[in-house]
Amino acid sequence: MDKPAVCGGNPVRDTKIYYGHQYIDEADIQAVTEVLRSDYLTCGPKIAELEEKLCRITGAKYAVVCSNGTAALHMACQAAGVGEGDEVITTPVTFAASANCALYCGATPVFADINEETFNIDPEQVAAVTSAKTKAVVAVDYTGQSVELSELLAHCRSRKLVLIEDGAHVIGTRYKGRYNGSIADMTTLSFHPVKTVTCGEGGAVLTNNEEYYKKLLLYRTHGITKDPALMEHDPDGPWYYEQIALGMNYRMTDMQAALLISQLDKLPAFSKRRKEIVKTYNEAFGKLPQIILQKEIPESDTTRHLYILRLNLKRLTVNRKQFFEALEAENICCNVHYIPTYYFPYYEKLGYRRGLCPKAEKLYEEIISLPLYYAMTDRDVQDVIRAVTKIAEYFKRDLSE
Ligand SMILES: *Cc1c(COP(=O)(O)O)cnc(C)c1O
């Protein structure tokens, strides 16, 4: 059964195409070099400029940029007051950081299953696993489609939980007309090169809550303050500062901030192109009974970070691994997002067992992330469609047999 599955004939293309790639133009390069010639490489004016820009784009009141999306999640959990003995609910269909951030704070991640059609965390499942120990929910906008914020917020309000939105995929998306980032208690972003906009490594926490904002500023820089109003002792002199909490160094550099400011100018174009590609894929794959499309909820006007090809295995004679290898043989190099977090040995050793979230586990067996990025040409998109169609037809299972 597990032999490599390669279709007959020549590959649909001669050169490899990958599932994601950043887009850097001359304006980006110039923005970075200008900082290199300036007085500040870090803690300079580009940080505030970027934070203002993120607020303007998303409608959030406050933004705190930081070194990466994982740091953003850690700081958000800290600001939410997550600590020893608490539970934090998240989805297993995500990058490990969405659960690791609870562990960083000494809390216990609790996994809630997904909605099998949207692939996002199911608010009913969140309610089902909420306990007296639950402190926060980390809800991931998987692929860039918004989680059901109204339902999640209603639950979090009624049980006095903090809603942290892991928006690593979500920049550019709107939920019920408002940009994600201005709705949950805190929303975290990531600017890794595979994400929609990048600065190499980078992250941010967005919030409308001033208390969280002040805490995030402290945690970003060691828990140190220069604000006399926050100090316990009288200042010794103009150099004086105090450490009043245990924070980290999670700062972003000004080179990164300048790059991201320049990237954000292109967000409308990035968003438009991603939507076009998703539409073209959906139209093509919607005709194939071997493929199941991800359900799009009307509340989310989605800028997609990932395109998930879900295989209808009943209609195929091959499994996901073989389909994946067949795509590689066509020079379409894909990925899989994600291995359920609690499958990892680290989580197994903490006592998590397979079977916790059956819908997430089933999804994992059936998915492949196809190439999706701004610089893809129409030809690239057609090559992906031709390759998927070729393989789906070649390994079609006739149900009447
Ligand atoms: C990328 C990603 C992160 C982590 O972001 P980094 O910037 O790589 O630390 C967290 N959650 C999700 C869902 C991600 O995709």
Segment 24-82, tens digit of pLDDT: 999 999 999 999 999 999 999 999 999 999 999 999 999 999 999 999 999 999 999 99
In this predicted model, what pLDDT tens digit does every residue of 316-362 receive, in sequence order?
A: 999 999 999 999 999 999 999 999 999 999 999 999 999 999 999 99
Does residue 70 line the site of ligand 1, with CB under 6 A?
yes
CA-based nearest residue to 120, from 92, 158, 99: 92
What integer pLDDT is reported at residue 8 of this predicted model?
Answer: 75
Nearest atom (ligand 1) to Cα of 194: 1
Nearest atom (ligand 1) to Cα of 72: 9
Average pLDDT over residues 236-242: 96
Query: CA torsion sign, 76 to 78 to 80 to 83?
Result: positive
- Relative orientation angle of helices 210-220 and 69-79, to the nearest 10 degrees: 120
Q: What angle do CA 265, 271, 272 make, to 5 degrees?
A: 110
Q: How far is the CA of 304 from the centre of ligand 1 (A)?
A: 15
Q: Is 260 helix (H, G, I), strand (E, B) or coil?
A: helix
Best residue among 19, 74, 98 to mutate for probing ligand 1's pocket (most ligand atoms within 8 Å of CB) is 98
pLDDT level of residue 398 (50, 70, 90 thresholds): confident
**Identity of the residue numbered 392:** A
Q: How far is the CA of 241 from the centre of ligand 1 (A)?
A: 33
Does residue 120 line the site of ligand 1, with CB under 6 A?
no
Phi, psi (deg, nearest 5) at residue 196: -65, -40
Q: How far is the CA of 33 from the centre of ligand 1 (A)?
A: 27
Q: How far is the CA of 96 from the centre of ligand 1 (A)?
A: 8
In this predicted model, what pLDDT tens digit does every residue of 4-19 receive, in sequence order?
A: 567 877 999 999 999 9
- Report, at the CATH architecture level, how domain 26-265 is classified: 3-Layer(aba) Sandwich (3.40)
What integer pLDDT is reported at residue 5 of this predicted model?
Answer: 62
Best residue among 70, 75, 194, 305 to mutate for probing ligand 1's pocket (most ligand atoms within 8 Å of CB) is 70
Q: How far is the CA of 168 from the centre of ligand 1 (A)?
A: 5
Instruction: State the distance between the two ends of the chain, measured CA to CA, in whole angstroms.
Output: 19
What integer pLDDT is reported at residue 1 of this predicted model?
Answer: 45
CA-based nearest residue to 21, from 266, 372, 398, 285: 372
Domain borders along the chain are 17-21+267-394, 26-265
Count of all residues that appear for the chain in the document: 401
CA-to-CA separations, 73 to 15, 50, 137, 324, 368, in angstroms, rounded: 37, 19, 12, 31, 26
Question: What is the rounded distance in angstroms from the CA atom of residue 370 to the CA atom of residue 309?
Answer: 7
Cβ–Cβ under 8 Å, residues 138 and 188: no
Percentage of residues of the chain with pLDDT beyond 90: 97
- Looking at the chain, the number of H-run helices and the number of E-run strands are 13, 15
Q: How far is the CA of 193 from the centre of ligand 1 (A)?
A: 11
Question: What is the rounded distance in angstroms from the CA atom of residue 242 to the CA atom of residue 140?
Answer: 35
Q: Tokens 């216990």 sit at which residue?
A: 108
Average pLDDT over residues 112-132: 98
Does residue 92 line the site of ligand 1, with CB under 6 A?
no
Catalogue the E-assigned strands of 119-238: 134-140, 162-166, 174-175, 178-179, 186-190, 203-207, 224-225
Which residue's CA is the nearest one to ligand 1's atom 6? 69
Q: How far is the CA of 102 from the centre of ligand 1 (A)?
A: 14
Determine the topology of domain 17-21+267-394 in CATH. Aspartate Aminotransferase, domain 1 (3.90.1150)
pLDDT level of residue 372 (50, 70, 90 thresholds): very high
Q: How far is the CA of 73 from the centre of ligand 1 (A)?
A: 9
Question: What is the rounded distance in angstroms from the CA atom of residue 377 to the CA atom of residue 380?
Answer: 5
Which residue's CA is the nearest one to ligand 1's atom 2? 168
Nearest atom (ligand 1) to Cα of 142: 13
Question: What is the rounded distance in angstroms from the CA atom of residue 54 to the CA atom of residue 67?
Answer: 15
CA 150 to chain centre: 19
* Helices assigned H by DSSP within 80-148: 97-104, 123-129
DSSP β-bridge partners for residue 110: 89
Which residue's CA is the nearest one to ligand 1's atom 15? 168
**Identity of the residue numbered 318:** V
What integer pLDDT is reported at residue 328 of this predicted model?
Answer: 97
SS3 breakdown of the chain: % helix, strand, coil, rounded to 5? 40, 15, 45
Sheet holding 300-301, edge to edge: 178-179, 174-175, 300-301
CB count in 10 Å sphere of residue 23: 18
Question: What is the rounded distance in angstroms from the CA atom of residue 317 to the CA atom of residue 389?
Answer: 14
CA-based nearest residue to 45, from 252, 265, 263, 266: 252
Q: How far is the CA of 94 from the centre of ligand 1 (A)?
A: 8
Q: Tokens 């586990």 sit at which residue?
A: 361
Q: How far is the CA of 237 from the centre of ligand 1 (A)?
A: 41
Does residue 97 line the site of ligand 1, with CB under 6 A?
yes
Does residue 168 line the site of ligand 1, with CB under 6 A?
yes
CB count in 10 Å sphere of residue 88: 26
Q: How far is the CA of 69 from the centre of ligand 1 (A)?
A: 5
**34 sits in which H/E element:** helix 26-36
What integer pLDDT is reported at residue 4 of this predicted model?
Answer: 54
pTM of the model: 0.97
Does residue 338 line the site of ligand 1, with CB under 6 A?
no
Does residue 94 line the site of ligand 1, with CB under 6 A?
yes
CA-based nearest residue to 103, from 123, 127, 126, 73: 73
**Identity of the residue numbered 167:** G
